[in-house]
Amino acid sequence: MATRLCRAFSGAPLSASRSLLHRVVITSTPSPMRPGHGSRAFRTTTVASLQAGIVGLPNVGKAREWLESLGVTDGGLSSLVRATYATLGLQTYFTTGEKETRAWTIRAGMTAPQAASVIHTDFEKGFIRAETIAFSDYVKFKGYAGAKEAGALRLEGKEYVVAEGDVLLFRFNV
């Protein structure tokens, strides 16, 4: 994982990655915050008592139910992950097959061949095209076969910029 992240940021000047992420943990109800450091600053707040309550629950489903009963839509961790990705200029795409579905982290703005190289450099070298399904279509049509049958599958070439959440199948020849 560290190797992939280092490769993703190679060539970027250090000053280009200077964004701010403020993580605020409070012991009671959140209060209004002052604006951050411009458009590259993100703030996420967590109420410590909510986090303590989540830890004591047996599974994710129970945690979600408990938070919903309190009128809370996010326990804090997912907002921290989203803010961290946004701060670092990262996004996720998915690959899926019979045995495994996997999320891959890439820099926002990467082309399909560059995204393929995160899996293996040979994928970039021999890139032909990417069979692409938007994540919302993948869920709506209940998977790859359903999306393909509904016409939601697109064939994208070397210039395609991968979108957040795309489900991709790379075609390549080495």
The pTM (predicted TM-score) of the whole model is 0.67
Predicted pLDDT of residue 115: 98
Tell me the per-residue pLDDT of 13-61, one tens digit each, with 9 for 90 and over.
544 445 555 555 555 554 444 555 455 555 566 666 676 777 778 887 8
Which of helix, strand or coil describes residue 39? helix
Let me know: does 172 contact 122? Beta carbons within 8 Å: yes
Let me know: does 127 contact 169? Beta carbons within 8 Å: no
Tell me the per-residue pLDDT of 110-146, one tens digit each, with 9 for 90 and over.
999 999 999 999 999 999 999 999 999 999 999 999 9
> Which tokens hold the place of 15?
């000053």
CATH classification code of 90-172: 3.10.20.30
Concatenated DSSP letters of 79-132 = HHHHHHHHHHTEEEEEEE-SS-EEEEEEETT-BHHHHHHHH-HHHHHTEEEEEE
Measured in whole angstroms, the distance separating CA 63 from the mean position of its chain's CA atoms is 22
Residue 157, pLDDT > 50, answer yes
Comma-separated ranges of CATH 3.10.20.30 domains in the chain:
90-172
